[in-house]
Each structure stands twice: as structure tokens, then as C-alpha cells.
Structure 1
């Protein structure tokens, strides 16, 4: 059965957790199920689509100025808030790990946020760095405008090895050394992002001027930078 090219493009947030202090840096990855519509069996970072309620969630802290400025390029200003919340929610749902600060909610949390709010935390974007953006090519069963955020595992609240509260969306959750991660069965875009992360760790001097963007929104794919 053919897949129409007009599949809607949904905004999404992906979290690349980087754990240092070992022999070499490691990233957190999990495997999608064999029956998943999108990228079955592939190893991926935690993440997913923005939900409508994410824009209403009270953040403990927002993005830094540079990330904020780059996130709103070719996007509505209010989207950055939703992306920040979505990143924390997806990480919580898929791994059981908390990216937030202790704090009370002054309003009733949306249904898909009740478990997170029950931990006594509010989501934060202060530890997230916007490092990559990619739009899924046409012809796929699902399409996303995904923003990838790098975060140090030291920002997590709680034990980074405790996945007991994770959903069953990702299996085989584990910390993978960067050199080994690229040997897994990965989506193409995940390979590219891993290469960018590895290069950034090896780089001496200032970070690159801009965020790489694989833009598949038009008839021809384009690779450019958001500055």
C-alpha cells in the first residue's frame, strides 16, 4: 500500500543525554518495538511529538538566549516553550528519568503530565542545548520536524540507571559509549546526529556557528544551518 506524501509534519523534541565521568562519554539509547509504525526495531534517543498540552505546562526555567533565538527561526515564538516541555515529558515517559527542578504546580496538570507532576518537579529547559533539526522526508508513514537537544546526565534528578518508571515504548534502555553507539541499528538521521555530537566533544575552541538543519519540507532536500 502506498503512503501519501502529504502526511502532516508534527513538531517533535528529542533528548540526547550525555553521561561523562566514565572511560569515555556515553549516550542513552533504547530500541523501538518491531511493530512500531515509525522506525521499527531501530535504536533511538528518547523523544516524540509535541502534545497540545505541552505549551500550557509551567516551566521551572526556559532555554538560554542563544537556543531560544535559534529555535524560533522559521517557527512561531511560542513553540520553544512547548518543545521544552515536550522534551522533559518524553524523556520521563520513555525512560522514567526526570529533567526538572523541585517545585509545586499551581494548577491542575494535564492528564499526560500527572505522573511527572506527582514526582514534585517542574520541567526545565535550562540544561538543554539545541544541536540539530531535521524534517522527515516525504513518503514516510509519519513525519516530524524534530529538534534535537543535548543535555548532560548530571542535570537529571535521581539515579540515571533507574529505568523502573519507564513506559514500554523503548526496550533495552542503556548507556552506550559513543564509539559503540554508531554500530547499533540506527536510523540515518540518528547516525548523523551522533557524528555531530562526537565531533563537538573532540573540538577545541568555540562551538560551530549555527545549528545543522536537514530540511525536507520542500520538493528537494536541503542541508543548511540555523544561525
Structure 2
């Protein structure tokens, strides 16, 4: 079955934040010149949700406030698939592991075998849902992308070891937030960067999640508020 290129695909993007209380950096890489979507641009790791992502067992779930906000204006039951896609894309494109040590209850799918062979299961409890954007009409690919922020402290292993990465992104590197706009960035990445720069030193979930909705009628900048969870010491 061929993929409908005009369809809007659900996608997940991961912003890994390093040294957030000093001189924070984010992990970025460059898309290939022949890529159909955003060629040559520097981007965060990410990609489309695969059908199999919904069935991957997570060792720890998303925070409840993130699940709640992800469910707004979305198809029912998509939250785990979005989180799993974020972890998978981070692994595939950078070789970095967001997970916890442990054995899989069943044989992992092909896309997860190398991850499992490292001795880890994917874990979503460190992910923080911080932004959502729909690609404007008229682009060769359209995505409904959810952006997740994760502190580098949650990554297993060496933060500078990209030896397990695929070749989808080149020039993988930690970019200082204050220098990121010197790179060739997509417009939406610049918008997200502004949000992250404001939130770099705050570990708490945002009061609301910005939602940049582009459709045939208009471009809307909405807020996904969800509900506040009680704080416990």
C-alpha cells in the first residue's frame, strides 16, 4: 500500500537539553540535501510515528500531565505511540538511549532489537511535552509534530557517543542555545527554540503547551492547558 503524501502524519521530536543550569545546549543534526522534507536544515531528532509504536512496552509511562495534554485535539489512545516514537527516533538518529535497564517481556521488533541488545527498555517518564505544530499546507510532507523536552541526565551512557546513529542526520552536535540561530534552521525550530530558552532552567511542566495549527483556512496559535496535577514532596 502506497503512502498518501498529502496526509498529515503524526510525528514526535526530541529536544535533549544539556547543562541546563549553566550554558545550556541542545542536540541537533543536519538533514541531507536530498531529503524531501527540510533538506539541509539543522533539526532536532524526530520523525513520523510508526504503527508498531503503539505496541511497544514502556518500562515507565509518560507523566500524567503530558498524557492529558497530548490527548487534546488528537485521536484517542495516541499518547504512548507518540512517546515511543520519540524514544525510537532519538535512538535511530543519534544512538542515544532513553530507557531503563531491563529485559523485554517478548522478543522486540526489528527496529528495537539493537536498543534491546544494549540491555534497556524504553522509558517515557523523563519526557516533557512542550510544543505541538502542524506543517502548513503546500509542503511536500505534512506532520502533526509533538515536541518533547528531556534532560540529558535521563540519557544512558556517553552523551558524545553517536556511533550507533543511523546516517539520517549528519553533523550531530551539541549546540549552545545562545548560538543555535547561527545555523540554518526551519522556522518552526526557531519558534520552539525561543520556548526552550525561556524554560531551560525550569524543570516543571509549562503552564500550557503552545500549539501552532496550520490548516487551509488559517494559522492559529493555540494553548493546550490540560489540568494541573497535585505536587508531592
Specify every segment of 5 or more residues in structure 1 that has no aligned partner in the other structure, as ranges: 1-5
Gaps of 5+ in 2: 226-233
Alpha-carbon contact 1:127-1:151 (below 8 Å) kept: yes
Query: Is 1:110 matched with 2:94?
Result: no
Whether the aligned pair in 2 keeps the contact of 1:71 and 1:80 (CA below 8 Å) is: yes
* Rounded Cα–Cα distance in structure 1 between residues aligned with 2:106 and 2:214: 39
How many residue pairs align between the two structures? 221
1:94-128 deviation per Cα after TM superposition (whole angstroms, max 9, x unaligned): 00000000111111211211111211111111000
**Stretch moving more, 213-222 or 169-178:** 213-222
Paired residue for 1:67? 66
- Cα RMSD (Å) of the superposition? 1.7
Q: Is the 8 A contact 1:200 1:207 kept in 2?
A: no
Residue pair 2:128, 2:205 contacting (<8 A) in 1 also: no
Q: CA 1:83/1:21 → structure 2, altered by over 3 Å: closer, same or farther?
A: closer
Structure 1 range deviating more: 208-217 or 52-61 = 208-217
Q: Secondary structure at the match of 2:200?
A: helix
TM-score (norm 1): 0.93
SS in structure 2 opposite 1:163?
coil
User: Which 4+ runs in 1 deviate beyond 3 A?
Assistant: 205-208
> C-alpha offsets along residues 17-55 of structure 1, whole Å, 9 cap, x if unaligned?
000178500000000001100000000000000001110
Matched, 1:216 2:214: yes
Q: Which of 118-127 and 39-48 deviates more?
A: 118-127
Instruction: Report what 1:34 is aligned to.
Output: 33
Matched, 1:166 2:165: yes
**TM-score normalized by the length of structure 2:** 0.90
